[in-house]
Structure 1
Amino acid sequence: MPSGSEIFEDASAIADAIISRVGKRIVLALPLGLGKPNHMVNALVERAIADPSISLQIFTALTLEVPRVSSELERRFMGPVLKRLFEGYPDLVYADALHAGTLPANIQVNEFFMQAGKWLNSPRQQQNYISANYTHALRYVLQTNVNVVGQLVAPSQARDRFSLSCNPDISVDLLEARRQGRADFIFAGETNTELPYMGGTAEIGASEFDLLLDSAKLQFPLFAPPREPVSPADYAIGHHVASLVPDGGTLQIGIGSIGDAVGQSLVLRHRDNAAFRQTLEKLGGVGPERDLFDEGLYGASEMLVECFIDLIEAGVVKREVDGVLVHGGFFLGSRSFYRKLREVEPTLRAKIAMVPVAFVNDLHGEEDRKRAARKGARFVNTAMMATLTGAVISDGLEDGRVVSGVGGQYNFVAQAFALEDARSVITLRATRHKDGETMSNIVWSYGHTTIPRHLRDIVVTEYGVADLRGKTDGEVVAAMLCIADSRFQEELLAKAKRAGKIAGSYEIPERHRHNTPAHVRKGLADAQKKGLLPLFPFGSDFSDVEQELMPALGRLRNAGRGELIGLALRGGPETAAARACLERMGFAAPSRLKERIYRRLILAAMAEVDGQTSTT
């Protein structure tokens, strides 16, 4: 390390050094998600809690928290899983204090993207939320007059080079702003040897650091959320999306089970084209792109999602741009994902380039080069709801509360319109379940919008594709009705007719009047029997028994009170698989009435789920 950098082995010591250098008014910028230097942040927060004269403002996004469990079933199922995945991970003190209502007023946390649903019932965090496109976060950080930037970094063996690894997203541009004299801050790093060492733009010299926390005793396991199971609805969506992606094109995918479904559907299209085509036809798919990937895809994605590695290995992502297969702004994933990135052959790792988010989310800067590279782009992002006239709701509720944030979704929608042959693909499940009630995610109108209807493009549900670009309102309403769940189509149609947005004589075509979960399961049945659509297509952190349990527990979670009573009365057979599941949940030999009821509920739910599978 150069003589100008101070190295610390104690988190409290580096916190004291920061206060000594900048004073008691600290404006601290932290990367979103995985890149937070937890020990350093906790030490600063603890100093500010102990000393009210310290003013600490934290500007960040996506504060990662270990999932909290509430119900008895959740505790029994997730308790051992959370212990396996998160033991040793240091919780962020400010998040715990915010939940407890004990964070003092001299500490303020401003986020521009929240972990989904975590702060819905926190008036303080709802008021401190900053609504921003991901590409605008940099300018807002600079406007705060940030005086400390902290980041978790991967060290080289010689400690002469370091990698911003998971989060070059804004940090690269912040450091450049400091070099240009547009910002004046202390750059404080914390090393973590589990972080994959990503080179290229993400690599910086030791001289960039003013302060560095580098201690073997403070190494901690990276935050690694378990992968989500991929549902039949997700797979149907994935197949429809995969039929929209042209060979030789460009791909962006968001996080979550729908993203995994898209990835697996692309792999299936390439590796077992006949099965892909057959399944797509059974689902009523109309997408024009069904051939194998000859030239292959190039990835330009805000988030380097896990399935990009699998897409590379499958030969789907193989079109290089300047020697790179995928450009990504940040990553977050499972332990196996981090291990893959650490252990991947160096020449392949060099083809996975971590870059500033402004590079992937925007066309500004080297625009001609970006336009040439991003041919046939398909930007795939997930929404919570959409209106019949094509507006998209992804980040907030009608009453103004924020669920998550805009992030980069608007960036990619705008980019899809700016590029000659690009399309924005918004995916959403047609329905959701709450308190035993099924509700439509396609609505007539909603009091909040993330993507306005004048930027409507392609919307995909498990029931098909609605191509909305350049269409009249009447045509858009008709297209959206065709991908809505049939249980809600007539009500939605009636509202559109009352508003005069579709002809009074219009009728939904017969071929779109059978949009039901049973129709989706039937369309996927053959592929599922062949093992082509696994619950976890790219690996899982759950055991085989836990995976067996998940569909049944999901059924119970979505059931209403009346349904639960019926399931408890009905019960189910105690098969060998069921016995293993009961053992895992601690209900093999129930001693209390409540445990016996839970036992019957699990058996009934397992029997019901198995019955659905066997009859499709």
Structure 2
Amino acid sequence: MALPLGLGKPNHIVNALVHRAMDDPSISLQIFTALTLEVPRPSSDIEKRFMGPVLDRLFEGYPALTYATELHKGTLPPNIQVNEFFMQAGRWLGSPRQQQNYISANYTHALRYVLETKVNVVGQLVAPSPSRQQFSLSCNPDITLDLLDARRAGKADFMFVGETNEELPYMAGGAEVGADEFQLLLDNKELQFPLFAPPREPVSLADHAIGLHVASLIPDGGTLQIGIGSIGDAVGQALVLRHKENDAFQKLMAALDARGNDRRPFREGLYGASEMLVECFIDLIEAGVLKREVEGVLVHGGFFLGSRTLYSRLRNMTPEERARISMVPVAFVNDLHGEEEKKRAARKDARFVNTAMMATLLGAVVSDGLEDGRVVSGVGGQYNFVAQAFALEDARSIITVRATRNKDGKTMSNIVFSYGHTTIPRHLRDIVVTEYGVADLRGKTDGEVIAEMLSIADSRFQDELLEQAKKTGKIASNYEIPEKRRHNTPERLLGALADAREAGHLPLFPFGSDFTEVEVSLMPALSRLRHATRSDLAKMLLRGGPETDEARRGLERMALAKPEGLKERAYRRIILAALSS
């Protein structure tokens, strides 16, 4: 059985088939899919106190996928196999079974692998038209449209089964299919369920700095692709700021000593060609940034997944407004093959913006896995867009990487000398952006690339990285990092951006939030706790903090206004300390 990536899974149908196979070991059920969506699972008690009410609010009524639940419990029988080519980030790191069943594939190659398995059932969540004569593949035409084409051409033979969901936005045009395409359709008002809607992530100052640097690399009249996550929202916010409050944007460019020269408001505007219709594309349309039409379309996307706000905004658009957002097969946006001449003409000055976990001094990128072979997520379409950036005459690939990460209370560099796994090889190195600047790597020598990468690394790690490069002879023994690049620190970044944050130009949630005002006010403190060492926590416990009105509201929200027992009193003191830091 083939199921769409992400949102478009027909949960009730899938669960019924899984239960049937669990009850009858003679049935062999293989599921080929990607991005199995699961409600987040808070790990610590404090995290549960904060996220518990949020998760109840956002996911109440969402039917969990039985195969995922049973996999986590270790009780999914061997006659059921789940193969994914893209995983929810980090969710299956501890599962040997799913690590072994992972299929490494570019998004554009997944269709081929589905056909090679001779799939006999394809399932899809669909949006019904009032007449029930037409249905929209809505969030996931990405592979399904090509599968249906293959069936018509005699290259596949499968049952197409659909499940209606009236919350799905009805995306018309190429994403529509007739009722006669289905061999089975579950259309029952009693089985309607709320769509999976993850909350938007908070955007840190480091993310905003990355977004600002990227925004100065996007030429007016160009083409834009953005990946999922808070950095994508930061890029969107920076583009809106550039267009609507250009003086503030220009000041931030000076404060960051930004390298990019594309800084003026958008006159012609941008066109979007993105594997994922990320939520901020709607905001970019409304802000007048995305306004360059290609055959009447502002954005071509292969799939979407987002907050409840995204779904309601799409549903509430007029048919004419929705028609300017065209959902298409992923092969259309991720590849140049098929109508190549038209695609090349449309995708002028393309900038493909994607996020990585790490990058090496030689420009290789690590986005999907660890050097021990375990998969964190998957390649998805990242390689497709990097390759496309080199295939188009005036395109660039922009890989964004946070300069550091925190692990067990220790700060570690995400710019490393080398790593035992890569997603994008160094021969496809192009542009890498951290919060500290832009490294332009295309066509440069290894020595030049290392110098570029050192200039955007956190200064706490620059000396060690430089020493490693000199030791291997990959950079001149007398090379010194320029003094102006020796101050890449969180403190300097805070100094450069604090006024803009205070002025509201760099909000924690640029495009709205699913969290309450009190929950948002708690986030910085909870972030400090998450990154604290045991020593830090001990100091917070001893120190405590003042009970301001804001602190009392936070304690009430965390069910710690009237603590019971030693543990809750300790939690209370630690949170008060974190709130006052």
TM-score bin (small chain): over 0.9
Q: Does 1:218 align with 2:181?
A: no
Aligned to 2:381: 408
Aligned to 2:124: 151
Q: Does 1:478 align with 2:454?
A: no
Aligned to 2:510: 537
Aligned to 2:42: 69
Name which of 384, 390, 394 aligns with 2:367. 394
Aligned to 1:520: 493
Q: Does 1:31 align with 2:4?
A: yes
Between the aligned partners of 1:574 and 1:533, the Cα distance in structure 2 is 28
Aligned to 2:521: 548
Name which of 554, 569, 577 aligns with 2:542. 569
Between the aligned partners of 1:572 and 1:282, the Cα distance in structure 2 is 34
Instruction: Give the alignment of 1:199-218 within 5 angstroms.
Output: 199-218=172-191
Between the aligned partners of 2:174 and 2:167, the Cα distance in structure 1 is 19
Between the aligned partners of 2:239 and 2:575, the Cα distance in structure 1 is 34
Q: Does 1:606 align with 2:579?
A: yes
Cα displacement (A) at 1:183: 0.4
Aligned to 1:7: none
Partner secondary structure for residue 291 of structure 1: coil
Between the aligned partners of 1:250 and 1:357, the Cα distance in structure 2 is 16
Unaligned runs of 5+ in 2: none
Between the aligned partners of 2:306 and 2:323, the Cα distance in structure 1 is 19
Q: Does 1:113 align with 2:86?
A: yes
Between the aligned partners of 1:540 and 1:526, the Cα distance in structure 2 is 22
Instruction: Give the alignment of 1:8-27 within 5 angstroms.
Output: none
Give CA-to-partner distance per residue, 1:361-417, whole Å, 9 cap, x none: 000000000000000100000000000000000000010000000000000000000
Name which of 331, 341, 348 aligns with 1:358. 331
Name which of 326, 341, 344 aligns with 1:368. 341
Between the aligned partners of 1:477 and 1:597, the Cα distance in structure 2 is 47
Between the aligned partners of 2:460 and 2:576, the Cα distance in structure 1 is 29
Partner secondary structure for residue 40 of structure 2: coil
| Partner AA of 1:321 in structure 2 | V
Runs of 4+ residues over 3 Å off in structure 1: none
Instruction: Give the alignment of 1:158-557 within 5 angstroms.
Output: 158-557=131-530
Q: Does 1:85 align with 2:58?
A: yes
Partner secondary structure for residue 29 of structure 1: coil
Name which of 131, 139, 142 aligns with 2:112. 139
Cα displacement (A) at 1:426: 0.1
| Partner AA of 2:289 in structure 1 | V
Between the aligned partners of 2:564 and 2:313, the Cα distance in structure 1 is 44
Between the aligned partners of 1:155 and 1:51, the Cα distance in structure 2 is 33
What TM-score, normalized to structure 2?
1.00
Partner secondary structure for residue 326 of structure 2: strand
Between the aligned partners of 1:73 and 1:555, the Cα distance in structure 2 is 12
| Partner AA of 2:26 in structure 1 | S
Give CA-to-partner distance per residue, 1:21-41, whole Å, 9 cap, x none: xxxxxxx00001000000000
Aligned to 1:5: none
Between the aligned partners of 1:605 and 1:473, the Cα distance in structure 2 is 44
Aligned to 1:611: none
Give CA-to-partner distance per residue, 1:493-547, whole Å, 9 cap, x none: 0000001011111111011111011111111112111111111111100000000
| Partner AA of 2:348 in structure 1 | K
Give CA-to-partner distance per residue, 1:38-94, whole Å, 9 cap, x none: 000000000000000000000000000000112111110000000000000000000
Between the aligned partners of 1:130 and 1:80, the Cα distance in structure 2 is 36
| Partner AA of 2:68 in structure 1 | A
CA-based RMSD of the aligned residues comes to 0.5
Partner secondary structure for residue 311 of structure 2: helix
Matched positions, count: 581
Partner secondary structure for residue 70 of structure 2: helix
Between the aligned partners of 2:478 and 2:544, the Cα distance in structure 1 is 48
Aligned to 2:13: 40
Give CA-to-partner distance per residue, 1:429-476, whole Å, 9 cap, x none: 000001100000000000000000000000000000000000000000
Instruction: Give the alignment of 1:570-589 within 5 angstroms.
Output: 570-589=543-562
Partner secondary structure for residue 433 of structure 2: strand
Name which of 62, 84, 98 aligns with 2:71. 98
Cα displacement (A) at 1:110: 0.2
Aligned to 1:22: none
- More displaced stretch, 280-289 vs 310-319: 280-289
Between the aligned partners of 1:591 and 1:114, the Cα distance in structure 2 is 40
Between the aligned partners of 1:283 and 1:536, the Cα distance in structure 2 is 21
Cα displacement (A) at 1:134: 0.0
What TM-score, normalized to structure 1?
0.94
Partner secondary structure for residue 245 of structure 1: coil
Between the aligned partners of 2:383 and 2:19, the Cα distance in structure 1 is 37
| Partner AA of 2:471 in structure 1 | R
Partner secondary structure for residue 411 of structure 2: strand
Between the aligned partners of 2:76 and 2:328, the Cα distance in structure 1 is 34
Between the aligned partners of 1:346 and 1:530, the Cα distance in structure 2 is 37
Cα displacement (A) at 1:550: 0.7
